[in-house]
Amino acid sequence: MSISYELLKRCSRTAARRGRVLTRHGVVETPAFMPVGTQGTVKGMTTAELAELNTAMILSNSYHLYLRPGIELIARAGGLHKLMHWYGGILTDSGGFQIFSLGGLRKIADDGVTFTSHIDGSTHYLTPERVVRIQNLIGSDIAMVLDYFLPHRSSHREVERAVERTGRWAQRCLNSHLRKDQALFGIVQGGVYQDLRKRSAEELVAMDFPGYAIGGLSVGEPKELMYELLEQTAPLLPSEKPRYLMGVGSPDALLEGSRLGIDLFDCVLPTRIARNGRVMTSRGYLTIRNAAYATDMAPLDEACGCPVCRRYTRAYIRHLFNAGEILGMRLTTYHNLYYLSRLMLEIREAISEGNFAQYYRRMKPKLEQFYGGVGKCKT
């Protein structure tokens, strides 16, 4: 068995659902947010600290790991779990987002993609089959097919061709996937065109993947459009299998995605902004570098119970940033991940207790006010 999904509770008034994904490295209670550890580490965090936060699964990127430290080293260590001393779940992205984001460093053909390494300029040719082989050697619990998507302003015909290529690559990935203790997810594409998203979903569902991702969103389109596409696409996916919304992690989007029936989310947002001294609080963003906090003896968030807020003041953490001390970034990273972990716990509890609709109505205006302006959150 690779993974299985248990649907525990449905919200009677929305599409929200409470479930769990069972993997060989434990259970992921859903809806869940996965911190991003692109290169085999969630920046600023030890795996013990991730466990303290009840993190059940993280995301790593097979393209970046392939370049550095290299698949041979990962395989020699016995897989990524052992190399990084992490025994929760791992989901590996395939490199599809790098096809999108590294436009000047790659050349696409029907058979695969040629990349020029951003590290040393070396050339690497990746096919759907090779991407699957790389993820097999990494040993992630969930692997992703190699997909292809375009900027959100692309024409219908351009996106249609991308959907066709994504479908062909998905079938090739499925045909070459041999590891039985690893699940391979398909990725629905289609840009901002619902007819193409419907076509992509139907094509992938017919291939019978054990789970499905919705990709190509949160790449610059308005959030309202993202939610509309998500609301139309999610019901096209099998209810008995997990649904994963790729690259979305602002608090308001996590709430909205949960309402629309999404089980898994990931984003670099909480860790990236933390390294710049920005934290999520019960009253919105707080930029700790600001001079206003130079003598402030309050915690980052007086409503937060995380160890950072229990032990340290705004003045001290601001001092750490101004002094260039690594501890400052570690503390803000821990706090932001705690904030999102707590939010997802509240969402799960609300669904379980049958009052998610009320919780949603209460939280939606507050989170939109505080976080609605943050959209793009890809790696």
Residues 69, 79 contacting (CB under 8 angstroms): no
Return the closest-CA partner of residue 132 out of 64, 63, 79, 36.
Answer: 63
Among this protein's residues, is 266 annotated catalytic? yes
Among this protein's residues, is 141 annotated catalytic? no
Helices H, strands E: what count in the chain?
15, 16
- Of the candidates 141, 147, 266, 301, the residue annotated as catalytic is 266
Residues 111, 126 contacting (CB under 8 angstroms): no
- Of the candidates 93, 141, 252, 263, the residue annotated as catalytic is 93
Strands 106-108 and 183-188: unpaired
Q: Residue 30 forms beta bridges with which residues? A: 19
CB pairs under 8 A, 24+ apart, for 66-74? 66/95, 66/124, 66/126, 66/134, 67/117, 67/119, 67/124, 68/39, 68/119, 69/40, 71/134, 71/137, 71/138, 74/137, 74/138, 74/139
DSSP H helices in the chain: 47-52, 62-67, 71-77, 80-84, 96-101, 128-138, 156-176, 194-207, 223-233, 251-259, 269-275, 307-311, 314-322, 326-352, 356-371
Cα 367 to Cα 57, 105, 118, 190, 275: the distances in Å are 24, 37, 37, 28, 22
Residues 213, 186 contacting (CB under 8 angstroms): yes
Q: How many CB atoms lie within 10 A of CB 120?
A: 8
Cα angle at 136 between 101 and 208, to 5 degrees?
80
Active site amino acids: 93, 266
